[in-house]
Each structure stands twice: as C-alpha cells, then as structure tokens.
C-alpha cells in the first residue's frame, strides 16, 4: 500500500467520490479490483463527537466480476471533507502506519485495504475494514468506557511498543516514525499547541464537556505537560 505520492487524491466533496476513484485507490494492492458501484450509507463529520480529526464514510461497494473475492463489500473511508481538520503530519503518520506497519502487527485494529497521502495538498484517504461486522463498539468521545476496556487498550499499546522497543529499524525503514521530541506533530504542538487546543475546545461542545470535570483551565493543564 502506498503511503504517499501515489497520485490518488480523495475528493473534498462526497458528490465527487466515484467508483473510478475507489478503483484507483485499491489498484496498487488489488490490481484486479474494479468498483462498479458505490453507495454512501452514512457519513460522520469531524467534530460530531464520534469523528474527531477526520471524517468517516461508510461505503457499500459492488465489484465487477473477477475482482478479488477477499475484498469486503462494506468499507470505511476515513478522509477529510472540505478542508483539513488537523495538521498534515497527523494524517501522514496514520496513513504510513496502515500502509507500512499494520499488516505485520497482531493487534486489534482494522485491516487497511488502501492508504494514500498526497504531500502536495495534505489530503489523505484510508479504506478500512468495517469493525462493526465483528461487533466492535464505537462510543462517542463523551461516553464512559469500562475498566476492562481501558485495560484492553493499554495492553494493545504495550504490545505495539514491545514489538519495536529499541528496534534498529528506527534507523532504517522506520526512520519516518516521530518521537515525543521530534518529527510528526511535535513541531506543531511546540509552536502553537495551546492555541490549537483552545480553538478545538471553543469550537466543539463535546470537547468542553471532556475538559470541564478536570476543574482546571487549559493553560493550567498545558503547564503540567
């Protein structure tokens, strides 16, 4: 799967999303796949409490005869509609994770069927497995989660970190992976992190609800980092 520079650019307008675009997106890994028809089942927009920094679109696809039978008819398109909702580095990191790392990891995460990032525009698209088919639950940002769910999340993070702890690959094929102090989102947050967070909290009520129980201002929380 191509992480960047593939030539595939997902449109900002869902009305322009076509079977041809999806066929091109899938073609690098699934060259015999031809999408004949698509149906937009549902779209979750950034800031609605479910989708946070990207938009998610549920797609039902019909493939031409002879297309790979491994491809599911329902896929989730994670992309940006209208304008970017976050710095491009955030999207690039996610695309490269799914394009270059996901397949080798035995963790609970959606399978990626296509992953594309356009460095010129910052636009991206991920075609992902629909985890609801495996009865996964997707709570909103303000729904409580159980202690068991938190433990499961931490266990998966530990598995991921253990796999690559002190790996020499960070000097090779994984040199692009950012660290807490360099690369990726570090430069963005180092320069304007507090301003970005203040803007997000002011714009989206559900983020205000997340901060309120802490009993501190954003400036106070930022100083604790």
Residues 150, 206, single domain; the answer is no
DSSP 213: G
Mean pLDDT computed over 88-95: 87
pLDDT of residue 138: 79
pLDDT of residue 207: 85
Cβ neighbour number for residue 31 with a 10 Å cutoff: 9
| Residue-averaged pLDDT of the chain | 87
Distance in angstroms (rounded) separating the CA atoms of residues 29 and 23: 11
Q: What is the pLDDT of residues 210-220, one digit of tens each?
A: 899 999 999 99
pLDDT at position 200 over 80 = yes
What is the percent of the chain where pLDDT is above 70? Answer: 92
Give kind and range of the element (H or E) at residue 50. Answer: none
Distance in angstroms (rounded) separating the CA atoms of residues 87 and 79: 13
Residues 89, 192, single domain; the answer is no
How many domains does the chain divide into? 3
pLDDT at position 71 over 50 = yes
Distance in angstroms (rounded) separating the CA atoms of residues 132 and 124: 23
Contact status, residue 145 vs residue 139, Cβ threshold 8 Å: yes
Residues 156, 136, single domain; the answer is no
pLDDT of residue 50: 54
Q: Tokens at residue 214, please?
A: 């802490």
Q: What is the pLDDT of residues 123-166, one digit of tens each?
A: 899 999 999 888 888 777 777 889 999 999 999 999 999 999 99
pLDDT of residue 1: 44
Q: What is the DSSP string of 54-114?
A: SEEEEEEEEEPTTS-TTS-SEEEEEE--SS-SS-HHHHHHHHHIIIIIGGG--SS-PPEEE
The CA radius of gyration of the chain, in Å to the nearest whole number, is: 19
Residues 122, 216, single domain; the answer is no
Distance in angstroms (rounded) separating the CA atoms of residues 79 and 91: 9
Residues 6+ apart with CB under 8 A from 167: 174
Distance in angstroms (rounded) separating the CA atoms of residues 5 and 116: 8
Residues 171, 138, single domain; the answer is no
Residues 220, 152, single domain; the answer is no
pLDDT of residue 3: 52
Residues 10, 106, single domain; the answer is yes
State the residue range of the domain holding 197.
Answer: 183-225
pLDDT of residue 48: 57
Contact status, residue 144 vs residue 137, Cβ threshold 8 Å: no
pLDDT at position 225 over 80 = no
Residues 98, 23, single domain; the answer is yes
pLDDT of residue 125: 93
Q: What is the pLDDT of residues 13-53, one digit of tens each?
A: 889 999 999 999 999 899 999 999 999 999 887 765 555 67
Give kind and range of the element (H or E) at residue 211. Answer: helix 205-211
């Amino acid at each position: 799967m191509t992480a960047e520079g593939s030539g595939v650019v997902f449109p900002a307008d869902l009305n322009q999303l076509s079977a041809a675009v999806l066929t091109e997106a899938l073609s690098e890994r699934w060259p015999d796949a031809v999408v004949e028809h698509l149906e937009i089942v549902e779209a979750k927009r950034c800031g609605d409490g479910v989708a946070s920094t990207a938009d998610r679109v549920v797609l039902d696809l019909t493939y031409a005869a002879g297309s790979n039978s491994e491809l599911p008819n329902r896929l989730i398109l994670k992309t940006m509609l209208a304008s970017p909702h976050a710095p491009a580095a955030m999207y690039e990191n996610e695309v490269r994770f799914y394009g270059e790392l996901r397949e080798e990891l035995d963790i609970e995460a959606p399978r990626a069927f296509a992953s594309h990032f356009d460095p010129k525009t910052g636009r991206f698209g991920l075609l992902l497995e629909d985890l609801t088919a495996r009865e996964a639950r997707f709570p909103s940002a303000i729904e409580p989660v159980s202690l068991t769910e938190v433990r499961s999340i931490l266990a998966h993070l530990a598995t991921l970190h253990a796999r690559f702890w002190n790996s020499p690959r960070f000097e090779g094929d994984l040199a692009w992976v950012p660290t807490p102090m360099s690369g990726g989102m570090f430069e963005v947050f180092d320069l304007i992190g507090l301003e970005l967070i203040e803007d997000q909290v002011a714009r989206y009520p559900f983020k205000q609800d997340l901060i309120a129980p802490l009993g501190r201002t954003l400036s106070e929380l930022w100083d604790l980092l």
